[in-house]
Structure 1
Amino acid sequence: FNMWARNWRYLPWGSSCLWISPIRSMRRSLSPRGQLCPLPPVPLSYKLLDGQDTLPPVVFLHGIFSNKNIFQAEAKTLAQQTGRKVLTMDARNHGESPHSPDCSYEAMSADLQALLQKLGLAPCVLIGHSMGGKTAMMLALQKPELVERLVSVDISPFVSPNMPNVFKIISLMESLNIPGDLSHSQAFKLLHEYLEPFTEDLSIRQYLFNSLVRIDGQYVWKVNGENLQQQKHQLLDTLQVQGVYRGRTLFLRDTHSSFLPSSHYSKIKLLFPEAQFQDIPDSGHITHIKKPQEFMNSILSFLS
């Protein structure tokens, strides 16, 4: 106990600052008989829009450093235009969901599975961007009966050459100090000016601003960046799972995506035999922000 106590910084589950998190990762606990067993899933923060029970619900899974609010407009549009229930949620270590030292896709898939069963939303349509796309693919390969169809947005189940660059943004987020007396528009302007030399893509800056909130007079990031940084190799790695998902699957990407290169297509088809691949030109990695109308058109077409 003393060994572990020296290596943890205690933090209430509800806290969400970027700069405080458990230092070590312990992905398994010991059972009373001394056997290794999975840690239990964490209760995810979510928002559910009501709809018809006769249609499979739609579930949005956000990317790394984001939260459920990033798909707020898309969720509302889908609920209105399709009559389906639509669920958005915060992944562990993001938004209002609890922090955990385990950042693996196995753990995030278990969280998702527990929430779907709790709300009675399976089988469902999973739409996941980046990290959320890999979580969606993990669940589909593990439990295909829970997934009616699947959309992966600009991410491959295999290692992508550009993914490591994503984590460079953590140090920039940590070093940015935004005065708490600024309005949200002033805070975004400051964030925009600070990050512009590092990324010319406005959609990325808008994406990051989604996780910046003011709590008790201070701007903080609703992301557990320290744990994500420590376990980035798990997040970047090829999905470690056996299985095949034979349901309808759509892979959306930018034409020149380095997160979902066309060289991966043949390998992807082995895991997802019914996979379709669709390009949205000039959409970048944050497809739903940079090309929102084209993104929604693709989703609505796929659902119909």
Structure 2
Amino acid sequence: MWQWTRKLWGSSRPWLSPIQGAGPSMATVSSSSRPRPVPLSYRLLDGQDTRPPVVFLHGLFSNKSIFQAEAEALAQQTGRKVLTVDARNHGDSPHCPDCSYEAMSSDLQVLLSKLGLTPCVLIGHSMGGKIAMTFALQKPELVERLVSVDVSPLVATDVPRIFKIIPVMNSIYLVGNPPDSQAFEVVDEYLKLFVKDSGIRQYLFNSFVKISGQFVWKINAENLWKQQNQLLDSIPMQGVYHGPTLFLTSLNSSFVPPSHHPKIKLLFPKAQFQTIHDMSHILHIKKPQEFMSSILSFLS
């Protein structure tokens, strides 16, 4: 017999560690200190093409498998090497209290150097797009071209609502050992109370996995919650990236409004803007064919 229950904060049987009272506070992380890289989990699809490899960077609360289908299709169609990566505090990568974009860019620099995958093409969605832009501004010689998926280097007013899902995710505890399909169905019904968009729920389920017989969310919820101000902030505005840059946005995107375009053009002078006619922030899930078509066209 099994069921799901809502776990109260501070429960003696936590499924995820409570958001409050765990880990360092914002004040303990110094943005001026040199970021310490962590070894990232990744998946590399080999290819024989000598053109720059492609690197996919996922968004907040996700992991490298969110781009698995796109990575495989791109590797098959172009022959390029394609890399997918788990950012720190996501997927199988280490947990770390510093969630700054400088730190996550440093992680990526170390990994790409280790694998010999530079110069490369960076494709990043949302948080991953900010990591990609930070990397390109810091190390422009290592980036052949850049794609930012529905995010700008500046602050978007609608983003803070994203973090309200963390207490909801943390409140779910599955008792017993239900079949995978039933577990997802039950949790999906509960999430519907808070997340009406089925595409966003599908996006979140990318991080809902079974480990040692227990379903868990593969994110470091407490660190992401505590560091949300850094994650919502603008990226470091230092340097200029002169390489080809595509800002792929949703229709009437609140993440890349027209008011951001002048500043974007200062940082990325060759920036071009392309709209996919969908209102969703998760374009690669809602419009996968249009997304891949845009990527392939930009690469060619």
Tell me whether the two structures share a fold, i.e. TM-score over 0.5.
yes
Q: Tell me the distance in 2 between the aligned counterparts of 1:54 and 1:154.
A: 29
Shift of 1:183: 2.3
- After superposition, the C-alpha distances for 1:62-102 in whole angstroms (9 at most, x for unaligned) are 00100000000000000000000000010000000000010
Matched, 1:275 2:276: no
> How big is the shift at 1:184?
2.3
Partner of 2:23: 22
Match of 2:114 among 102, 115, 118: 118
Offset, 1:180: 4.8
Separation of aligned partners in 1, 2:162 and 2:126: 11
What amino acid is the match of 1:70?
A: I
Aligned-partner Cα distance in 2 for 1:98–1:61? 16
Q: Name the counterpart of 1:163.
A: 159
Paired with 1:229 and 1:238, the residues of 2 have a C-alpha distance of: 17
The yes-or-no answer on 1:38 pairing with 2:34 is yes
Separation (CA, whole Å) in 2 of partners of 1:245 and 1:39: 22
Between the aligned partners of 1:122 and 1:223, the Cα distance in structure 2 is 28
Task: Within 5 Å, give how 1:1-304 maps onto structure 2.
Answer: 17=16, 19=18, 22-24=23-25, 26-27=28-29, 37-52=33-48, 54-304=50-300
Instruction: Give the C-alpha shift of residue 197 in structure 1.
Output: 2.5
Q: What is the CA deviation profile of residues 27-71 of structure 1, one whole-angstrom value per residue up to 9, with x for unaligned ones?
A: 459xxxxxx852420000000000125110000000010000000
Cα deviation for residue 188 of structure 1 reads 1.9
**Counterpart in the other structure of 1:5:** none
Mapped to 2, the partners of 1:70 and 1:262 lie a distance apart of 28
Q: 1:123 to 1:268 in 2, by over 3 A?
A: same
Higher-RCO chain (CA-CA 8 Å, sequence separation at least 6): 2
Q: Deviations over 1:109-166 (max 9, x none)?
A: 0000000000000000000000000000000001100110000001110000101011
Amino acid at match of 2:24: I
Counterparts of 1:40 and 1:53, CA distance in 2? 33
Q: Provide structure 1 residue ranges, at least 5 long, that are not aligned to the other structure.
A: 1-15, 30-35
User: Partners in 1 of 2:285 and 2:176 — Cα distance?
Assistant: 26
Q: Find the aligned partners of 1:191 and 1:130 in 2 and give their Cα distance.
A: 25
Superposition CA RMSD, Å? 1.8
* TM-score calculated relative to the size of structure 1: 0.89
For 2:155, what is the secondary structure of its paired residue? coil
CA-to-partner distance for each residue in 1:258-289, whole Å, 9 max, x for gaps?
Answer: 11112211111111111111111115011101
Q: Which runs of 5+ in 2 are unaligned?
A: 1-14
